[in-house]
Structure 1
Amino acid sequence: MEFAKPLPEYLVKRYQGWKATTYAENKSWYKRLAEDGQHPRAMVISCCDSRVHVTSIFGADQGEFFIHRNIANLVPAYAADGKQHGTSATVEYAVTALKVAHIVVLGHSSCGGVQGCFDMCEGHAPELDEKTSFVGRWMDILRPGYERLAPGEPKDRLRALEKEAVLVSLENLMTFPFVKSAVEDGMLSLHGLWNHIGEGSLECYDPGAKAFVAV
């Protein structure tokens, strides 16, 4: 495998710094995690965006969250078609094997994936409409959210679509039989959040108000 290269030196130094400090000071905790396995209380589905730092937002330690990241924090609808489904497999493992008590879908401001979906649906990104576009076909998941957008200024519609990405994912989670069963049995709860990166604010979807409200 000649194309695989050594780790960049800056990452090597960061690892060595972590091993000498954080790990060294908490060695017994890491050994316990390794020996006892993971028992996270919550699964978090967030965007791949490098600016979204789930563990920092909630001050979480290792072992607390089972985290899955993908473009625009999307969950596809349930499909038992024998194909490979990374997000669906992660949800299945979290619910049926780890038996998490919560699934949190975390959206955010200035999401590039959502912007791509918006541009594609507006007809401004023909390259994403190509069958060969992995991003475009992934963002097809969000088309129902785009179709629900109210008329208005593009920037307001884009912000609304970021939140629709959370709602579409929550709706799709309930199409999974094992998720639906766990929710109805009171063993699992679903939560929709939206984070404004620049302001550090967090909003949670309130089904009663049918809106996202400040946490």
Structure 2
Amino acid sequence: MHNVRPLPQYLVSRYHGWKATAYAENSAWYRRLAEDGQRPRAMVISCCDSRVHVTSIFGADSGEFFIHRNIANLVPPHAPDGQQHGTSAAVEYAVAALRVAHLIVVGHTSCGGVAGCHAMCSGQAPELEEKSSFVGRWMDILRPGYERVKDLPEDQQVSALEREAVLVSIGNLMTFPFVESAVTSGELSLHGLVHDIREGTLWQAEDGGRRWIAV
């Protein structure tokens, strides 16, 4: 563990500021969360992109969202193959253990992962085709979405693929038996959103993704 270093001072300062203000003003709530456990109403699957801050977008407090972030907000198909599946494990825990009522996939504009998938699938990023590329193999999940947008005008393909990243994930969620069962029984609802970073808007999928309307 010789490579572990102390936090940068600017993060230490920010932590002390949080502890003295936000925590101090809500310490009873934090103690309740610690003692009673979490009971989030919703799970959010969003991109790792630092510009996507779902708790700020929805004004959420600690304990409200069970959040999982990965490259391009993707969910792989159900595949109990003995491999390590961080996203699948998070979905299982949220639905089967926490019994969230809503599962929200949040995509966004200017997504680097989606742009990389488009470049890879269109033959412009051979490095992502390498078996050793973790990003490339992860973005293979989105290849079916690329097939649906590749015949669009070139200047529309990436933005369409950003929406497909949400729709592919929702489709894959329904391949999980416990998700399908919860949706069918009405215990769980699935939602697909795209966040426009520049404009601050949210677009919501309707009619199976055939329409996107402003929230």
- TM-score scaled by length of structure 2: 0.98
What residue is the counterpart of 2:89 in the other structure?
A: 89
User: What residue ranges of structure 1 are gaps of 5+ in the alignment?
Assistant: none
What residue is the counterpart of 1:7 in the other structure?
A: 7
Shift of 1:151: 2.5
Shift of 1:178: 0.3
What residue is the counterpart of 1:75 in the other structure?
A: 75
User: What residue ranges of structure 2 are gaps of 5+ in the alignment?
Assistant: none
Separation (CA, whole Å) in 2 of partners of 1:123 and 1:61: 43
Shift of 1:207: 1.2
Structure 2 counterpart of 1:100, which letter?
Answer: V
The Cα offsets for residues 124-146 of structure 1, whole Å up to 9 and x where unpaired, read as 00000000000000000000000
Structure 1 counterpart of 2:199, which letter?
Answer: E
Identity %: 70
Shift of 1:208: 6.5
Structure 2 counterpart of 1:160, which letter?
Answer: A
Shift of 1:169: 0.1
Asked whether the equivalents of residues 43 and 94 of structure 2 are also in contact (C-alpha less than 8 Å), the reply is: yes
Shift of 1:209: 7.2
Separation (CA, whole Å) in 2 of partners of 1:211 and 1:136: 29
- TM-score scaled by length of structure 1: 0.98
The Cα offsets for residues 41-96 of structure 1, whole Å up to 9 and x where unpaired, read as 00000000000000010011110000000000000000010111000000000000
What residue is the counterpart of 2:34 in the other structure?
A: 34
Separation (CA, whole Å) in 2 of partners of 1:77 and 1:209: 18
Name the count of aligned residue pairs: 215
Change (3 A) 1:13 1:208: closer
Shift of 1:105: 0.2
Q: How large is the Cα RMSD of the aligned pairs?
A: 1.0
Shift of 1:200: 0.3
Asked whether the equivalents of residues 170 and 190 of structure 2 are also in contact (C-alpha less than 8 Å), the reply is: yes
Structure 2 counterpart of 1:152, which letter?
Answer: L
